[in-house]
Structure 1
Amino acid sequence: MSIHAFKMQLKPGVVEEYRRRHDEIWPELTELLTQTGIHDYSIFLDEDTLSLFAVLKLRDENSRDSLPEHPVMKRWWDYMAPLMEVESNNRPVEWPLTPLFHLA
């Protein structure tokens, strides 16, 4: 298992809509994430900067790299694109975070 952390960026005025959409996350997306080996996934908000900080655990046997090609993932990115900084294919822009400390 490995832990991955990254940052994303919300646009101004969309925090509650972002929260609502995640509170109502599609069951097929949850299933897809689980099937590809992602679990224990959290996203945190820095309210001052609107930066999102995501942390997820990834099983050793995973297929996370296949997500960008999956239709459900593409639909989710299209759905979320108006709320955040995205690439040309609507994939959220991600900035990886470097681990500096972990207390187990």
Structure 2
Amino acid sequence: MERIGQIMYLHKDVYDEYQKRHSELWPEMKKELKDHGATNYSIFLNKANGQLFAYLEVPDTEKYNEIANTEICKKWWAYMEPLMDTNPDNSPIATDLKEVFHLD
């Protein structure tokens, strides 16, 4: 299992809306995440600066990354774009983190 950690950036005035949208995650988006191998997925918010820390586990990073090509993922990104710092394709600007320690 591969562990993925990322930092993303949320606009400060939309914390509640971001949490609401994730608590109502579309069933088809949830299915696509699972179909692409995502498990143990959590997102944490630093309210002081709007920084999000996302953590998930996948059996295959390449397979997981293919989710970006699905229509539902593109639709989700467009839905979330007003709340976050994003790239021109609406994907969240994300900083990939390198794992330096894991306690078994």
The two structures have a TM-score, normalised by structure 2, of 0.95
Percent identity reads 37
Question: Is contact 1:81-1:91 (8 Å) kept?
Answer: yes
User: How many residues are paired up?
Assistant: 104
State the Cα RMSD in Å: 1.3
Displacement of 1:62:
6.2
Q: Could you tell me how far apart the structure 2 residues matched to 1:51 and 1:60 are?
A: 26
Q: What is residue 90 of structure 1 aligned with on the other side?
A: 90
Gaps of 5+ in 2: none
* 1:11-31 CA distance string (max 9 Å, x none): 120000000000000000000
Q: What is residue 26 of structure 1 aligned with on the other side?
A: 26
Structure 1 residue matching 2:6: 3-state secondary structure: strand
Question: Is contact 1:37-1:62 (8 Å) kept?
Answer: no
Indicate the larger mover: 91-100 or 60-69.
60-69
Gaps of 5+ in 1: none
Question: Where does 1:4-83 land on structure 2 (aligned, <5 Å)?
Answer: 4-60=4-60, 63-83=63-83
Q: 1:14 to 1:61 in 2, by over 3 A?
A: closer
Q: Letter of the 1:27 partner, please give it.
A: P
Structure 2 residue matching 1:28: 3-state secondary structure: helix
Q: Could you tell me how far apart the structure 1 residues matched to 2:28 and 2:95 are?
A: 26
Question: Is contact 1:36-1:62 (8 Å) kept?
Answer: no
Q: 1:43 to 1:63 in 2, by over 3 A?
A: same
| Larger helix proportion of the pair | 2
Q: Which runs of 4+ in 1 moved over 4 A?
A: none
